[in-house]
Amino acid sequence: MNTKKVLVVPGDGIGKEVCDAALPVLTALRIPLELTHGEIGWECWRKGGNPVPEETWQQIERADAVLLGAITSKPKQQAEAELPPELQGRDHKYVSPVIQLRQRLGLFANVRPSYFVSGDGKPYSLCVIRENTEGLYAGYDYRSIPAELRGLLTHPNVEKYGPEAASVTIRLQTKLGLERLFEFAFRYAVDHGFDSVTFADKPNVMRESGHFAEEIFTEVAARFAGVRPDIQNVDAVALWLTTRPEKFGVIVAENMFGDILSDLAGGIMGGLGVAPSGNYGLKQPYFEPVHGSAPGMAGQNKANPSAMFLSIALMLEHLGFAAEAERVRSAVVTVIRKGHNHTYDHGGSATTADFAKDVIDAVNGRRYRKNAAVICVGDELLRGEYPNTNAGEIGASLHDAGYDVTGHAVCGDKRSSISRALTRALGEHDLVVVSGGLGPTSDDVTRFAVGDALGVPLEFEQRAWDHVTARFARFGLEVREIDKLQALIPRGAALLENSSGAACGFSLSRSGTRFVVLPGPPVEMRAVLRLALSANEVGGPSGVKFVWTLLGLTETEANDTVARISSRLVPLMGYLWKYPYVHVSLRVDELTAEVEDFARQVSAAFGAHIVSTSGQSAIEQLGDEPRVRWRSDDDELEALLAKLPATPDGAVFVVNTTPTFSDILSQGRYTGRLNITCQSPDGQRYEMSAPLRGPEVVEYVKHFACLCYTRTMRQGAGE
């Protein structure tokens, strides 16, 4: 393939930051691109009174595509004030570079893809195509009614103050502009697999211009027999976009309506930080994230570069690198869903560079562990009548199979509630395991909820019915008509036979999520789950896990210690408080030099607080018959220590506390801190302190005493 030429113009504000962060992905892809850099935007205006210098236009002419970072625009008076003194008052007019690009290059179609990335809601994929050159943004905008229009524009509200106290904007639509727009929209639908094009307008109010556009839309639609045309009021489209975006394919609209709908579609996608765009037409297209220059954020290295990555993907697709474009899109979605370094707009604290590195790593083949969710069904679980043992067992089984379990939910026996929970999980998790509600009674509605959520009908499955009848016959039970409910399976699902009961489970996949639906009784659930997991590949790379079991630190203190070492790896840390320990863990998909160095620094920082790096407690490390005897100057404490493993001929370790346990128990006061000392036979003295929170503090003392013994033994052995 011939080398393609791309002009990169970072522009203003955060434009340079997102460009610098995302452009290395092109090197990772190893495709024949020649990059050049040009200048555009506010600084060009401030220096020379032209935000798009002539040299930049010459560079554009030589390029196959333009990648734009971000553009700043300011009001007329402010723009004039920021010009050099020698250029002020010379009738320099600031015209936004994006408007200049669209007009001079004839880029009439603004393309804004929107698709499911993460969060609640069904997966969807649509595209808003906005007309760039006409409509209400054509430039016919007047502060007062022009003299040549005053005879035409008569309105009772104008009469009170006159035409000078009014404003007017003209919506310009031409046959040329609409025809090429609709042609582009239908062609885009065909090329990208969409089966419908919806024209969003307001023909019930703007009757003449609306009817004019409708006629042209209908004429163009007739040339694309495989694509369903649709005309809807723009306000109705906005409503359905927020509630059921999956019902749309391509949405096409005039300039202002398209501007509003495309930003709305970006919000549904996850915000402007993930919203890409491309501008196409007669000459070189340009591609840009739509988040703007965000001058207040510039220089903070916190902007989300996702929109720039996805705009690069649009550009690559246009240049003929479709496979590489999909790799970039897939990497962004994967990192948002499964990565731990999220930028501020998605609730994290990752820098622009941190997030970009994760995306490029994913493009380079880094694999993330698959994630899973567990949904248990039953009113009795919500009411607490029975412990939800299934959730724990399923979660443990999934973890052992290589999945990260990232969600648990409990639903009552209500079809709509179960369906909503399934819809939220769709596309968000690789695997969703549902347990309960598969029987023949009126409250067993899970199979129907699955059909609702996934949009598939239930069908009678003879093999499932044969299993039910054989099971009943085995125990001499009567088969009733209502039992046929247990043979209804979603169309396309794989049957999972139940070796311990009548109701079979089933499995099916939609939008990248595999659903495994199990019966509720624990013995039946286990049998069907084993069958489901044996037929499924493991979740992904097993990864590498570090564990530090700490005594004498709180979760907050441990977290602060880690955060001072590496903010980038902090999101990968886990903390579990199981008195008297804090268990700190780090899980990564692969062992790198960065991770190894981080783990070494964490171990050094935790220092003497580390009890083990295997999850063992100090008492577990002691063993059954340690060569130790426990003594204390405090009779109450010595009685407590007598419950620890010991041998009559063991070395004597003396443990004392301030205040003493005798004083604590006699006064019944638990406040302040308990200072603990432990002295070994060779005179070595260990000290630690713990909050005196209640009687359970004795566990702290016992584990500390055991830790002192094992440390002494290790030192004696030269470890």
Q: Which of 334, 366, 398 is the last residue of a domain?
A: 366
pLDDT reported for residue 400: 85
Segment 515-532, tens digit of pLDDT: 999 999 999 999 999 999
> Do 514 and 572 share a domain, yes or no?
no
What's the mean pLDDT in 337-341? 87
Does the pLDDT at position 636 exceed 80?
yes
Report the DSSP pairing between strands 544-551 and 581-588: antiparallel
In a domain, 30, yes or no: yes
In a domain, 149, yes or no: no
Most confident of 80-94, 301-315, 499-513: 301-315
The CB density around residue 45, as the number of other CB atoms within 10 Å, is 25
> Do 493 and 623 share a domain, yes or no?
no
Does the pLDDT at position 276 exceed 90?
yes
What's the mean pLDDT in 484-512? 93
The CB density around residue 415, as the number of other CB atoms within 10 Å, is 19
pLDDT reported for residue 570: 80
Half-sphere exposure in the Cβ direction for 220 (13 Å, CA): 26
> Do 707 and 583 share a domain, yes or no?
no
Q: Is 90 exposed, middle or buried (0-12, 13-18, 19+ CB in 10 A)?
A: exposed
pLDDT reported for residue 76: 75
Segment 403-414, tens digit of pLDDT: 999 999 999 999
Average pLDDT, the chain: 91
Its domain, for residue 302, covers 1-108+291-366
In a domain, 397, yes or no: yes
pLDDT reported for residue 622: 85
> Do 571 and 480 share a domain, yes or no?
no
Rounded CA-CA distance 329/323 in Å is 10
The CB density around residue 530, as the number of other CB atoms within 10 Å, is 13
State the pLDDT confidence band at 718, using cuts at 50, 70 and 90.
Answer: low
pLDDT reported for residue 119: 80
pLDDT reported for residue 587: 82
> Do 419 and 488 share a domain, yes or no?
yes
Do residues 438 and 503 make contact, with C-beta atoms less than 8 angstroms apart? yes
> Do 611 and 623 share a domain, yes or no?
no
User: 9: helix, coil or strand?
Assistant: strand
What is the domain-level CATH number for residue 556?
A: 3.30.70.2860
> Do 304 and 449 share a domain, yes or no?
no
Q: Among positive and negative, which fits the CA dihedral 440, 442, 445, 448?
A: positive
What's the mean pLDDT in 6-20? 95
Percent of the chain having pLDDT more than 90?
69
Rounded CA-CA distance 390/523 in Å is 10
In a domain, 56, yes or no: yes
Percent of the chain having pLDDT more than 70?
98
Does the pLDDT at position 89 exceed 80?
no
pLDDT reported for residue 138: 86
The CB density around residue 436, as the number of other CB atoms within 10 Å, is 26
Please name which of 517, 483, 488, 530 lies closest in space to residue 502, comparing C-alpha atoms. 483
Q: Which of 343, 366, 389 is the last residue of a domain?
A: 366
Does the pLDDT at position 537 exceed 60?
no
In a domain, 157, yes or no: no
Of 264 and 670, the one with more pLDDT: 264
pLDDT reported for residue 83: 85
In a domain, 263, yes or no: no
> Do 27 and 72 share a domain, yes or no?
yes
Segment 291-326, tens digit of pLDDT: 988 888 989 999 999 999 999 999 999 999 999 999
> Do 360 and 380 share a domain, yes or no?
no
State the pLDDT confidence band at 367, using cuts at 50, 70 and 90.
Answer: confident
Please name which of 388, 475, 480, 369 lies closest in space to residue 430, comparing C-alpha atoms. 369
pLDDT reported for residue 407: 92
> Do 400 and 510 share a domain, yes or no?
yes
pLDDT reported for residue 109: 97
Does the pLDDT at position 256 exceed 60?
yes
Question: How many domains in the chain?
Answer: 4
pLDDT reported for residue 541: 60
pLDDT reported for residue 588: 80
pLDDT reported for residue 2: 85
What is the domain-level CATH number for residue 522?
A: 3.40.980.10
Round the CA-based radius of gyration of the chain to a whole number and report it.
Answer: 34
> Do 523 and 378 share a domain, yes or no?
yes
In a domain, 270, yes or no: no
Q: Which of 616, 633, 655 is the last residue of a domain?
A: 616
pLDDT reported for residue 487: 94
Segment 544-581, tens digit of pLDDT: 789 999 999 888 899 999 988 987 788 888 898 888 99
State the pLDDT confidence band at 719, using cuts at 50, 70 and 90.
Answer: low
Half-sphere exposure in the Cβ direction for 457 (13 Å, CA): 3
What's the mean pLDDT in 599-611? 93
In a domain, 235, yes or no: no
Do residues 391 and 376 make contact, with C-beta atoms less than 8 angstroms apart? yes
pLDDT reported for residue 615: 86
Using H for helix, E for strand and C for coil, what is the string for 33-81?
Answer: EEEEECCCCHHHHHHHCCCCCHHHHHHHHHCCEEEEEECCCCCHHHHHH
What's the mean pLDDT in 419-441? 93
What's the mean pLDDT in 115-140? 90
Does the pLDDT at position 186 exceed 60?
yes
> Do 399 and 336 share a domain, yes or no?
no
